[in-house]
A and B are shown apart, each in its own frame.
Chain A
Amino acid sequence: MISRLRELYRHRELIENLVVRDLKVRYKNSVLGFVWSLLNPLLLMVVFTIVFTIMLPNLTIPKFPVFVMCALLPWNFFNTSVMSALNSIVHNGHLIKKVYFPREVLPISTVLSNFVNFALSLPVLFLLIIFFKVPITIWILYLPLIMLVQVAFTVGVSLILATVNVFYRDTGVIMEVVMQAWFFLTPVFYPVDLLPEWKTVWGVALPVRRLTYILNPMASIIASYRSVLYGFTNGSPPAAPAFDFFSRTVVTALLCMVIGYAVFTKYSHRFGEEV
């Protein structure tokens, strides 16, 4: 394990280069270049702002565009990362079969290049925050930490799914549906307070809200983003996420990354013949 990590470290420049390659290729063929990565969230925000302030102004959630965007951007980062990392091994089969390098480089660099995209869209989010006069507090310093936690979690999920996809090629199709469901199970468009505390299903009382956080690390991560960027639906300003809640989130994300890495390294020696 240690030697594998050391090997991965030796190939850090490869990760860097692959990220740069991804970004270059993504923007090379478009006239506007990297402006697209800004334009996309910007347009999205304009649409949200129009819809929720002009067309549906009576929503009970104040500053709804900010409320949605500070959850939607992280979710999009997660979604695109997972869906493209899933195919990173299979699509680079020609490389895998011809050259040796630590295979985890591929999903990791995919996640990281999406992360760069995500980071590039943050200025636009700040514009929105300023526009809606959401107070910017000291707790915004939590933001990089939360982002790191999300990267860890995303890498973990990506490593597992990329491995599974090598052996079962319809993983992508299944994951599209799963990601849809996951999206709706994650409080992106609705506040988590909207969920009932308890709900009885077939005679079993389920703590729905707690379960959402426990079973869905993305819910916790997004709640953290919202807590430091937006505040609360009752109008109170941003605050640090509750300590025990946030540390649980960190542990879950790290655990997920370790498990993902373990699964990946367990099977990666077979990629050369299975791809």
Chain B
Amino acid sequence: MSLRLSGDDGIIRLLRSKCPGERKMPVIDVEHVSKSFYLYPDRPRSFQELVVNLFRRRGERTPSRQVLWALRDVSFRVEAGETLGIIGANGSGKSTCLKLLTRILEPTEGKITVKGRVSALLELGAGFHPELTGRENIFLHGSVLGMSRKEMKQRFDDIVAFAELERFIDIPVKFYSSGMYVRLAFATAINVSPDILLVDEVLAVGDQSFQEKCLERIHELKAEGVTIIFVSHSLDAVRNLCDRAIWLDQGILREDGVTDVVVARYLQHVYEREEEKALAAQEASRQRRERAVAQEGSEEEEKGASAEQEEQDHAEGREVQNVESESDPLARYRNRWGSRQAEIVDVYFLNEAGERRLLFATGEPMQIVIRYRAHERIEHPMFGLAIHRSDGLQINGPNNIFADFDIPFIQGEGEVRYIMESLPLLEGAYYVTAALYDTDGTHAYDHQALYYRFRVHRGQVGERYGVIYIPAKWAHFPHGAEEGEANR
């Protein structure tokens, strides 16, 4: 699907194509719902504290309660048989939203109407009692969900078969392994014929085959017309299961529409935020470096490249590592050496519009800029680059000499650019080594190994396996058919 569908028109068109005909009745109707939590730093939790507080002076007992809005004015409807994904960062209100739908929590403002039997896969096996057998727990849990004994009897065999626990069903669940426990819980929750199924990030349980079985069962329920609300951090899972998605951002409903569109918007937002953070960190580190250089300027130049500088660089390396959310697997290989008659001052990355970026999409134009400062005249220098994947694999290693691009000499400041019309790298984190050598590459002026990073996210290119994207086309020629026309 193309992301270039022009904004809302595109979404509306897609929505229409998904649900043709007249509107069905909503089974979930969330109207202007807000939920706040009061955080009391010291609200009395016992009568003892209550009494003690009475005797304190007014100034001392300040129950300055803070209000935390987990959801603000959220409205959406879900129609029977729809599959809705809820996405968003941690703390964006996804779980609160589900808990409101299950009525575990009640909204502070607004109204929620839910029609039909709701089964929630929130925390599996919460209602199980360890002393009771699997059989007894199935019936107990069924009645927690409001099922009658008769109804549960009809489903009992299915549940046991699904959980693959035939041999152990009459053993107290306290003797179950955690896998058996979860399997029983999942089987029970999913086989109570819910009208609405709420799933919260629980698929990461059991072994691989059981997980697949669970997903398969959820897909089956979807096909049977069960309304499903699915909360997950796995955007792929959401994309696979859900027709529609909503994106919550700090308790606010940011987007509601076709899954692919909402997921794409969400990802874009995530990348932008990540980029802002990374750029800020980079900028801070650059400013520090410049300050350090300015200080050293008054001192002797030669010694500028000595231990102190080295230390500074290492500190920066650590800093960057702390600021960035991801781990930095290659940090310990980061290294810098050279005689420094000429230095690489900075390396940065430009997008099509000439803006500095740390995040690029596969297939996007990209330029790597090497800024240098030559303290003396250097004839025919060699500027080199190397791009590494985050596991250390070197992807390429171009330089201007290989490319027959001659730079007669450098003196003072300037920049050299490596221009890619289309970035062929697939999603991931990449490291850049930049180096400045003499013509035959024997003398290093400045070599900065793995000093710079950028990230690539999946843009409009569908490929996800391997390292690079090779712009190529597919063709199909069925043999034996009429000669001539290729079936493209």
- Contact among A18, A24, A98 with B104 in the assembled complex (CB-CB below 8 Å): A98
Given contacts A99-B126, A100-B104, A101-B145, 5 further A-B contacts (CB under 8 A): A11-B143, A13-B143, A21-B132, A95-B127, A98-B126
Which residues of A from 166 to 201 have beta carbons under 8 Å from B? 168-171, 174
Contact with A along B157-197 (1 / 0, CB 8 A): 00000000000000000000000000000000000000000
Q: How far is the CA of A94 from the CA of B124 in the complex (A)?
A: 11
User: How many B residues face the partner with a CB closer than 8 A?
Assistant: 32
User: How many A residues face the partner with a CB closer than 8 A?
Assistant: 29
Cβ-defined contact, A21 with B144, below 8 A: no
Contact with B along A1-21 (1 / 0, CB 8 A): 000000000110110111001
Q: How far is the CA of A11 from the CA of B122 in the complex (A)?
A: 21
Contact with B along A59-76 (1 / 0, CB 8 A): 000000000000000000
- Which of B42-50, B387-395, B429-437, B451-459 interfaces with chain A? B42-50
Cβ-defined contact, A100 with B45, below 8 A: no
Contact with A along B114-147 (1 / 0, CB 8 A): 0000101011001101011000100110011111
Name 26 A/B residue pairs within 8 A (Cβ), A-sorted.
A10-B146, A11-B146, A13-B149, A14-B146, A21-B129, A21-B132, A21-B136, A24-B131, A95-B127, A98-B104, A98-B120, A99-B102, A99-B126, A99-B127, A100-B103, A100-B120, A101-B144, A101-B145, A168-B46, A168-B47, A168-B50, A169-B45, A170-B47, A174-B47, A272-B99, A273-B105
Cβ-defined contact, A100 with B102, below 8 A: yes
Give every chain A residue within 8 A of B127 (Cβ-Cβ).
Answer: 95, 98-99
Give every chain A residue within 8 A of B145 (Cβ-Cβ).
Answer: 99, 101
Q: How far is the CA of A94 from the CA of B125 in the complex (A)?
A: 10
- Interface assignment of A58: CB less than 8 Å from any CB of chain B: no
Give every chain B residue within 8 A of A14 (Cβ-Cβ).
Answer: 143-144, 146
Cβ-defined contact, B105 with A272, below 8 A: yes
Cβ-defined contact, A28 with B146, below 8 A: no
* A270 CB, min distance to chain B CBs, angstroms: 8
What number of residue pairs across chains A and B have CB atoms under 8 A from each other? 77
Give every chain A residue within 8 A of B76 (Cβ-Cβ).
Answer: none
Which residues of B from 1 to 58 have beta carbons under 8 Å from A? 37, 44-48, 50
Q: How far is the CA of A217 from the CA of B246 in the complex (A)?
A: 56
- Contact among A13, A94, A272 with B148 in the assembled complex (CB-CB below 8 Å): A13
- Interface assignment of B275: CB less than 8 Å from any CB of chain A: no
Give every chain B residue within 8 A of A95 (Cβ-Cβ).
Answer: 126-127, 144
The 5 A-B residue pairs with the shortest CB-CB distance, nearest first, are A98-B126, A170-B46, A14-B143, A100-B103, A269-B106
- Interface assignment of A51: CB less than 8 Å from any CB of chain B: no
Chain B residues with a Cβ under 8 A of chain A: 37, 44-48, 50, 99, 102-106, 118, 120, 122-123, 126-127, 129, 131-132, 136, 139-140, 143-149
Interface centre among A28, A100, A269 (most CB of B within 10 A): A100
A92 to B, closest residue via Cβ: B127
Q: How far is the CA of A18 from the CA of B149 in the complex (A)?
A: 13
**Helix, strand, loop or mixed for chain A's interface?**
helix
Give every chain A residue within 8 A of B123 (Cβ-Cβ).
Answer: 97-98
- Interface assignment of A29: CB less than 8 Å from any CB of chain B: yes
Give every chain B residue within 8 A of A262 (Cβ-Cβ).
Answer: none
Give every chain B residue within 8 A of A170 (Cβ-Cβ).
Answer: 46-48
* B75 CB, min distance to chain A CBs, angstroms: 21
- Interface assignment of A25: CB less than 8 Å from any CB of chain B: yes
A15 to B, closest residue via Cβ: B143
Which residues of A from 190 to 244 have beta carbons under 8 Å from B? none
Give every chain B residue within 8 A of A273 (Cβ-Cβ).
Answer: 37, 105
* A14 CB, min distance to chain B CBs, angstroms: 4
Give every chain B residue within 8 A of A21 (Cβ-Cβ).
Answer: 129, 132, 136, 140
Give every chain B residue within 8 A of A169 (Cβ-Cβ).
Answer: 45-46
Q: How far is the CA of A246 from the CA of B45 in the complex (A)?
A: 40
- Interface assignment of A122: CB less than 8 Å from any CB of chain B: no
- Contact among B47, B99, B143 with A17 in the assembled complex (CB-CB below 8 Å): B143
Q: How far is the CA of A270 from the CA of B36 in the complex (A)?
A: 12
Q: How far is the CA of A29 from the CA of B130 in the complex (A)?
A: 12
Q: How far is the CA of A13 from the CA of B144 in the complex (A)?
A: 9
Cβ-defined contact, A25 with B132, below 8 A: yes
* A87 CB, min distance to chain B CBs, angstroms: 14
A17-B139, A100-B104 known; A168 and B131 CB under 8 Å?
Answer: no
Q: How far is the CA of A100 from the CA of B106 in the complex (A)?
A: 11
Q: How far is the CA of A10 from the CA of B46 in the complex (A)?
A: 34
* B440 CB, min distance to chain A CBs, angstroms: 70
Cβ-defined contact, B139 with A25, below 8 A: no
Give every chain A residue within 8 A of B46 (Cβ-Cβ).
Answer: 168-170
Q: How far is the CA of A21 from the CA of B133 in the complex (A)?
A: 11
Give every chain A residue within 8 A of B147 (Cβ-Cβ).
Answer: 13
B189 to A, closest residue via Cβ: A99
Q: How far is the CA of A14 from the CA of B139 in the complex (A)?
A: 9
* B117 CB, min distance to chain A CBs, angstroms: 11
Give every chain B residue within 8 A of A11 (Cβ-Cβ).
Answer: 143, 146
Q: How far is the CA of A16 from the CA of B139 in the complex (A)?
A: 11
Interface centre among B50, B143, B147, B149 (most CB of A within 10 A): B143
Give every chain B residue within 8 A of A147 (Cβ-Cβ).
Answer: none
Give every chain B residue within 8 A of A168 (Cβ-Cβ).
Answer: 44-47, 50
* B232 CB, min distance to chain A CBs, angstroms: 18
Q: How far is the CA of A205 from the CA of B105 in the complex (A)?
A: 52
- Interface assignment of A120: CB less than 8 Å from any CB of chain B: no
Interface centre among B37, B105, B144 (most CB of A within 10 A): B144
- Interface assignment of A146: CB less than 8 Å from any CB of chain B: no
